[in-house]
């Protein structure tokens, strides 16, 4: 599960995380717009948005030991494009990102959506500099990427959030 909270301090975020069960992690947004709690179980407290995510596929290493940075990308696709989007992500985009040594791993997840498909890519970064890597730039300059980017829903419409781990991890 992914919980989104407005808390901007590690202490407040960690108090909200007390409602979670199983392994988890607290992360603060670098834009100071709140925090993220990753957990397996629990009930989100009042004022916290809970997103139940189903894993689709992953690559590389993921988890707290893979790096203190988490780059979350929210991606909505129309139903007609969801298969191609997943194929592009699995076959081209993600492998290119993983060529960067600071890009530790990723998980592509799906959440319920009233229409189309709502995906979340959770990228684990060993270093924030991975976002400026030549591998990421190359992954966004391929013919496949350019073909997808002709759609209004692609790229510019994505929600992007960079977070860093607070001090709290639990098992």
CA gap 118, 111 in Å, rounded: 5
Q: Which of 13-22, 56-65, 104-113 has the highest mean pLDDT?
A: 104-113
Confidence band of 171 (pLDDT split at 50, 70, 90)? very low
Q: What is the DSSP letter of 83?
A: H
CATH number where 96 lies: 3.30.70.100
Cα–Cα distances in angstroms (integers) from residue 166 to residues 3, 22, 46, 93, 169, in the given order: 15, 18, 21, 29, 8
Question: Based on the structure, what is the number of domains in the chain?
Answer: 1
Q: Which residues form the domain of 157?
A: 2-170
The answer to whether the beta carbons of residues 119 and 153 sit under 8 Å apart is no
The answer to whether the beta carbons of residues 146 and 91 sit under 8 Å apart is no
- pTM over 0.85? The answer is yes
The answer to whether the beta carbons of residues 48 and 18 sit under 8 Å apart is no
User: Is residue 168 pLDDT above 70, yes or no?
Assistant: no
pLDDT of residue 85: 98
Give the tens place of pLDDT for each residue, 120-148. 999 999 999 999 999 999 999 999 999 99
């Amino acid at each position: 599960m992914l919980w989104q909270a407005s808390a901007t301090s590690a202490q407040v975020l960690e108090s909200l995380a007390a409602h979670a069960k199983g392994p988890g992690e607290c992360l603060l947004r670098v834009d100071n717009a709140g925090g993220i709690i990753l957990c397996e179980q629990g009930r989100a407290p009042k004022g916290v948005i809970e997103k139940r995510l189903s894993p689709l596929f992953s690559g590389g290493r993921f988890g707290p030991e893979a790096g203190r940075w988490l780059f979350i990308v929210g991606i909505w696709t129309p139903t007609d494009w969801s298969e191609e989007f997943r194929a592009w992500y699995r076959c081209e985009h993600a492998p290119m990102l993983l060529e960067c040594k600071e890009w530790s791993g990723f998980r592509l997840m799906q959440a319920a959506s009233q229409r189309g498909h709502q995906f979340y890519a959770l990228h684990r970064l060993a270093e924030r500099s991975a976002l400026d890597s030549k591998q990421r730039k190359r992954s966004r300059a391929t013919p496949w990427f350019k073909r997808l980017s002709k759609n209004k829903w692609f790229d510019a419409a994505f929600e992007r959030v960079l977070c860093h781990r607070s001090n709290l991890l639990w098992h």
